[in-house]
Chains A and B, each alone.
Chain A
C-alpha cells in the first residue's frame, strides 16, 4: 500500500532529483472506538447469561453456581479487608519471579542450542521429552525435593515459562536470514559480535512471541503450584473455596486470575509492538 511520488526531472545529472523519491507511511490505524465496544460484547453477554441462569431462572443452586451479585459481594468484602490484595500480591510475586528465572534460563539455553548443532544434539532431545510432562505431574517431585515453601512453586512456574521461550528462541535463531549473516561477515563480525548484532535481533520477533506465551504458561503453572501446600495466593483461594464449600470464593479467584492474565498479556503486547516497530509483516485486514 505504498505510493510513490517521484518528481521527474529531465536533467538526469541533477542529483537533487534523487532526494524527492519518497514513500507514504503505513496504512491508517483501525478506528479505536468500535473495536473497544466489540471487545466488551462477549464479557457483557456472559455476565448477563450468568445472572439470568442464577438469580432469574434459578437454573443452578447457590452452592453449584453462585449469582454474580454474590460473587461481587464476596469480592468487595475481600477487597475491603485486604485479603484479595494479599493473595493477588503473593501470586503476582511468584509469577514474576518464576517467569524471570524460567525465561532467563531459556534465553541462555535457546541461544546455545540455536547457535550450535553440537549443543542441540546434546540437550534438545531431553528438553523435548521433558516438555511433555504436564504441570501437575511435576508437583509431587518438586514437593519431595524442594519442600512446601516458595521453592517448589517458583520452580514449577519457571518450568512453565521455560519451554515456550526456549522453543521460540531456537526457531528464531535458526530462521535468521543467511543474507544478513553474510553482511555481518563482510563487515568483519565474528562469533559473539555476529550473534549479538545480527542473529539475536533477527530472532527478536520470535523471542517476544515466546515470552508472551511463556508468561501465560507461568500463570497456569502458578495455579497448579498453589493448589498444594500454600497459605496465600489465588490458587490457594481457589482450593480453600473448594475445601469450605465456598464456590463464590472460587469464582472470585478464577475471575481475578483471568483478568490478571489478560492484563499482563496486554502489557506484553504493548512492549512487543514497540520493540517490533521495524518489522514489515502482515497485520491482518
Chain B
C-alpha cells in the first residue's frame, strides 16, 4: 500500500530563476519525512512536482520506481488551505476523493469516523472551522487510497491547539496505514514530533543542507529532552542558512527576502 519516493537530481527553473538544483532525496516506504527551510526555497515546488501538478523539470521523480508524469492517485497532495468544494457537504467532499466509478460508501463512512467528522457529515464547508475543514481535506485525500501523501504546510493555518490535534490525527492514520508521508512545514516542533527524518533546506537554489534523523519511538512526548535538543540543533542549522542568505541575496528576486 505505501511506496517509496525518490527524487534524482531534480532541477527546476521558473522564468529563468533556478529553484531546484540537482536535488536528490529518498524517502523509504512508510517513512515520515519533513522538509523545513526558508520561505520560497523550493519545498512546495518539490511537492508539486512529485504530485504531478507541474511536470517540467530535469532529473527524475519516482514513486515506487514509477516515473511521475502527471497527477495520479498514487500521490495525494494536501495544501495549506483545505480547498474543499464549497457546494458539497463534508461527506460529498470526501466522496469526491474516491476513484471514479467506485461507490464505496463504506470507505467514506470509515474515513469520516477516523477524522471524527461523522457528526458533521452533512455540513457545508462554510459552516466548518479551520480544523474541521482540514480534517475533511485529509479524509478526501485518503479516500483516493494513495500510495504516498504529500502535505504542504497542512496545519499552518489553524491555531496551535488544533494543530496539535491534527498532528495526532495524522499519526493515528499513519499508525493504521503506514502511508509514506512527505511533509513541508515551518513548525520545527511539528517536524520533530511527526518525522523519522527532518531535511533542512536552503534556498536559491534549493539544496539539502542537512538531514536530521529522529530516532525516538512513537508516540513521542512533546516535552522530551531529546526533541528539545534536536530542536535547538535545527534552529542553529536554520540560522546559518538564514545568515548565508542575507549575504547572498540580491534584492528584487522573486523569492527575495
User: Direct A–B touching in the complex (beta carbon < 8 Å)?
Assistant: yes
Residues of A participating in the B interface, judged by any CB pair closer than 8 Å = 2, 4, 6, 8, 12-13, 15-19, 21-23, 25, 179-180, 182-183, 185-188, 193, 197-198, 201, 204, 277-280
CA distance A8 to B131 in the complex (A): 15
Q: Assess whether B241 is interfacial by the CB under 8 Å rule.
A: no
B-chain residues with CB within 8 Å of residue A204 when the two chains form the complex: 87
Q: Assess whether B215 is interfacial by the CB under 8 Å rule.
A: no
Q: Which of A13, A22, A25, A183 has the most CB of B within 10 A?
A: A183
A12 and B165 contact, CB distance less than 8 A: yes
Q: Which residue of B lies closest to A4 (CB)?
A: B129
B53 is contacted by which of A4, A186, A278 (Cβ under 8 Å)? Answer: A186
A15 is contacted by which of B52, B116, B125, B222 (Cβ under 8 Å)? Answer: B116
B-chain residues with CB within 8 Å of residue A8 when the two chains form the complex: 161
Q: How far is the CB of A12 from chain B (nearest CB, A)?
A: 6
Could you list some 6 contacts between A and B, CB below 8 A? A8-B161, A18-B115, A23-B129, A187-B71, A187-B73, A280-B125
Q: Which segment of B61-69, B75-83, B197-205, B246-254 sits at the interface?
A: B75-83
B126 and A280 contact, CB distance less than 8 A: yes
Given A13-B168, A13-B219, A15-B169, also A22-B53 (CB < 8 A): no
A-chain residues with CB within 8 Å of residue B119 when the two chains form the complex: 19
CA distance A222 to B99 in the complex (A): 48
Q: How far is the CB of B117 from chain A (nearest CB, A)?
A: 8
Q: How far is the CB of A176 from chain B (nearest CB, A)?
A: 11
Seed contacts A2-B129, A201-B85, A278-B125; 9 additional CB < 8 Å A-B pairs: A12-B164, A15-B165, A18-B131, A21-B162, A187-B96, A193-B100, A204-B87, A278-B87, A280-B86
A278 and B86 contact, CB distance less than 8 A: yes
A278 and B126 contact, CB distance less than 8 A: yes
Q: How far is the CB of A79 from chain B (nearest CB, A)?
A: 44
B-chain residues with CB within 8 Å of residue A4 when the two chains form the complex: 129
Given A185-B53, A188-B73, also A22-B129 (CB < 8 A): yes
B-chain residues with CB within 8 Å of residue A13 when the two chains form the complex: 168, 219
